[in-house]
Structure 1
Amino acid sequence: MNADLFAGCWPDVDADLPPAALTEIAGRAEAADRAGRPPLASLDLLRELNWPGLPVPEKFHGGGAGLLRCCALQRALGAADPGLAVAVNMHLFSVGLMVEHWRRRTDTSWLLMEAIATQNRLLASAFAEPNLGGSTSRSTLVVDPVEGGWRGSGRKRPCSLAGEADLVCLQVQTTGDPSEVLVALLPTTAPGLRVIEDWDTLGMRGSASNTLLLEDCFIPKELVFYRAPAGREDDDVFAAGVIWFALTSTACYLGAAQAALREAGTLLHRLRIAHLGSSRAELPSYQATLGDPVADLLVLEAAAADVARRMDAGADPEQLVGAALGVKQQAVRVVPAAVAALAEACGGASYSRGLALERLWRDAQAIRFHPPTPVATRQFLARRALGVPASLDLDEKGASSAAS
């Protein structure tokens, strides 16, 4: 497979993630998958490369990477180790959200970003939780107001790198009417935080997406950097956060697809059809089966890069969120189908645990489960297109009820 097909979509990121570092990271991916634990040496290497502070503005001693560059970084990392890429993407998204918040509110949240950049602090992102149906503007983890902040108990699952990160970006919901959603940054050593190691999955096994348990945990008000009415989505910071997550997570899986292309290309050139005297890569029948998946990946790469460029150029996030969600929704269809087509073309060899293609096929399935979920996104995009009230909260009552 000719990787140069995709070269024009993304900026070069060799200065931030040198090829030698990516090779080192890739060399640990299989062991992390088999153990179901994160590659700690790879996390240490990312810290040495000052990766945690890359999205932080340069004036706060960060790398000043915009969304496009961050997507390119995640794509490169996803091609080396998809599980690690998905795990640290939660850091990238959280810091991106902080940057977008600061740009629009210009408050003291820059102090948190500066600490992340200068101290190479790694974040876990505690947004996902059971029974939300993929909602991104609510939480079932409810906290009560107390002197100096809020206090509450509950669980966040899955929470990538909950046991390995220095800080946790935590989303909770307050009691009372009206109820608010709060996003705070807590040290993972804070009293009342505990990790339950229960991550045992089909793919993305090295992401360490364990359960974060809050037990009478205190959240100081000075560590809350974002608050908004629960369920409210007409907010530029919320929209920017959705865009960052949709595009950076898609980039991780595009990297996994690129790794699958590379592995399949090597196999297809090596595997021969004996009675034809040719490798599979040389045969038109095999070439024909891969043309459409490659075309789909090319379109997805170009679309993701274009939306990221528009975001960096200052487009209104609330106008761009539909396009970003459309990219993510296409990725749910395109990436697993492309990796499956590559595996099928390689035949039974791709089913072997001894080859990376089997692991990449398993990793590709996880794209279906990131919020906003495909079910919620379909409903949102369809309602937007039809001109009826739309929300990323699932609504089974119908548009007429939503409008009333």
Structure 2
Amino acid sequence: MATQESRALTPELLDGIRSRAAGYDRDNAFFTEDLDALREAGYLAPRPLLETARDQRLLAAYAPATALGINMHLVWTGVARVLHERGDGSLDWVLRDAEAGELFAFGNSEPGNDLVLWDSRTRVDAVEGGFAFTGTKIFTSLAPAWTRLGVFGRQEDGPDGPRLVHGFLTRDAAGSDAPGVTTLDDWDTLGMRATQSNTTRLEGAFVPDERISRFLPIGPNADPFVFAIFANFLLLIGSVYAGIADRALVLGVEATRRRTSMRTGLSYAQDPDLRWRVADAALALDALAPDLETLAADVDGLVNHGGDWFRKLTGAKHRATETARYVVDQAMRLAGGGGYGAGSELARLQRDVLAGIYHPSDTESVHSTVATNLLGALEL
């Protein structure tokens, strides 16, 4: 269970964030007050990945959707930091903008694109002074508040053939769409509701040359920019779901202590079967911190795992999200029927934790990555 203290996440700040979480979920509302409080506390500033991962795990134990939403900003600042530490200053402006209070979001996910970063359904056209992006992006967390949106698309007529173009859109004020950008009001999901990850439609949305971050070939590649995205996204996603599991286990233990058996007259904490269930959940959860934190420290320490990096990173995310689902399920069983009430915190955690199966890399992709690492590419 995560116990590291955070410089920004004070007990008072966290208690306020927890007090609003149920209301955001009930009203399907964006976490505006949380964002203001986190910005005021300096939480949006760039920092080492290990520190960020620990902070995100702690924050998620108080408000999973707030942590998941703010993750997207922290991923981009983490990408810029990873590149900077490896001698690549191409995204140093991201660090400066983040320090100045700009909010970054992810606009990479697309409907029907199971190639994730290896190709895109979004069309990119070269125009005077930059590039125009046309396509649909889904799961755009922080949709009501971002001022910088990372996007990518496919340019068919690149200098040497088709290529992928990565860049950042800008809007001057949170919530006001930039030219060629339309944010739909379509986020009505089972869980993680406060992220307000609305669909974003791009119709010739302009990215100037100076905000183009990469030109990359179609297909898998090990460019440091791609590595930085995977490292930050996967480890921070895993940390958020570990935080959900932390809270679920606490609630499960509390419920076990609180309930009394009519059959024996004893606390359920004395029931051997329930004690086994508590222990099994804790054993699974205890494995996550060494996994996630060791890899985060390796990223910060510039450790070179070579071709094993993607296996390790996707595996860590997979283990964290699947373990979190298991722990929440055990906590629901420990709580009994009371945990099934729509207004219970455990019921909300049960809905929130399910979102973990939809984040890249999905289970099938993870297993493909690991198999390729061990056995080589599939022969077609």
TM score, norm. by length of structure 2: 0.93
Q: Distance in 2 between matches of 1:271 and 1:178?
A: 66
Residue 107 of structure 1: CA displacement? 3.4
Which one of 160, 163, 166 corresponds to residue 183 of structure 1? 166
1:280 aligns with 2:274: no
1:232 maps to which residue? 220
Deviations 1:188-216 (A, max 9, x none): 34311110011111111111010011112
Contact 1:311 1:320 in 2 (8 A): no
Match of residue 293 from structure 1: 281
Aligned twin of 1:146? 127
Rounded Cα–Cα distance in structure 2 between residues aligned with 1:277 and 1:160? 48
Alpha-carbon deviation of 1:277? 1.6
Asked whether the 8 Å contact 2:138–2:197 carries over to 1, the reply is: yes
- Does the residue aligned with 1:43 lie in a helix, a strand or coil? helix
Which has the larger displacement, 359-368 or 329-338? 329-338
* Alignment pair present for 1:206 and 2:188: no
Give runs of aligned pairs for residues 1-400 of structure 1, distance below 5 A.
Answer: 6-7=2-3, 11-13=4-6, 15-53=7-45, 55=46, 65-117=47-99, 119-133=100-114, 135-176=116-157, 178-188=161-171, 189-316=177-304, 318=306, 319-386=308-375, 388-389=376-377, 399-400=378-379
For 1:266-315, what per-residue CA distance to the aligned partner results, in whole angstroms no more than 9, with x for missing partners? 22211111231222223222111222221111112221111111121111
Work out whether residues 185 and 224 of structure 1, in 8 Å CA contact, stay in contact via their aligned partners in 2: yes
- Aligned identity (percent) is 28
The one-character-per-residue Cα deviations of 1:129-162 (angstroms, maximum 9, x if unpaired) are 1111152232211111111111131110010011
Contact 2:80 2:91 in 1 (8 A): yes
Summarize the Cα distance change of 1:105–1:182 in structure 2 as closer, same or farther, 3 Å threshold. farther
CA contact (8 A) 1:133 1:373 kept: no
- The CA distance in 1 between the partners of 2:333 and 2:241, in whole Å, is 19
Q: Distance in 1 between matches of 2:212 and 2:222?
A: 20
Deviates more, 1:371-380 or 1:245-254: 371-380
Q: Determine helix, strand or coil for the equivalent of 1:266.
A: helix
CA contact (8 A) 2:38 2:44 kept: yes
Contact 2:234 2:314 in 1 (8 A): yes
8 A Cα contact 1:50 1:120, kept in partner? no
Q: Deviations over 1:247-267 (max 9, x none)?
A: 100000111111111222222
Q: Distance in 2 between matches of 1:77 and 1:41?
A: 15
Does the 8 Å contact 1:311/1:317 carry over to 2? Answer: no
For the residue of structure 2 that corresponds to 1:276, the secondary structure is coil
Match of residue 174 from structure 2: none
Matched residue type, 1:359 = R
**Does the C-alpha gap of structure 1 residues 309 and 102 become closer, same or farther in structure 2, counting only changes over 3 Å?**
closer
Q: What amino acid is the match of 2:240?
A: C
**Letter of the structure 2 residue corresponding to residue 279 of structure 1:** S
Instruction: Give the 3-state SS of the residue equivalent to 2:131 in structure 1.
Output: strand
Distance change (3 Å), C-alpha of 1:112 and 1:345: closer
- Cα RMSD after superposing both structures: 1.7
- Say if 2:192 and 2:352, in contact at 8 Å, map to a contact too: yes
Q: C-alpha distance in 2, partners of 1:112/1:301?
A: 29
Structure 2 counterpart of 1:61: none
How far is 1:217 from its partner?
1.2
Moved over 4 A (4+): none
Q: For this pair of structures, how many residues does the alignment match?
A: 372
Cα distance in 2, alignment partners of residues 259 and 315 from structure 1: 32
- State which drifts further: 146-155 or 168-177: 168-177
8 A contact 2:77–2:94 mirrored in 1: no
Partner Cα separation in structure 2 for residue 145 and residue 93 of structure 1: 27
Q: Distance in 2 between matches of 1:71 and 1:316?
A: 20
CA contact (8 A) 2:82 2:300 kept: no
- In 2, are the aligned partners of 1:128 and 1:371 still within 8 Å (CA)? no
Equivalent residue, structure 2, for 1:396: none
How far off its partner does 1:343 sit? 0.3
- 1:109 deviation in Å? 2.8
Gapped regions of structure 1 (runs ≥ 5): 56-64, 390-398
> In 2, are the aligned partners of 1:268 and 1:279 still within 8 Å (CA)?
yes
SS at match of 2:353: helix
Corresponding residue SS for 1:145: strand
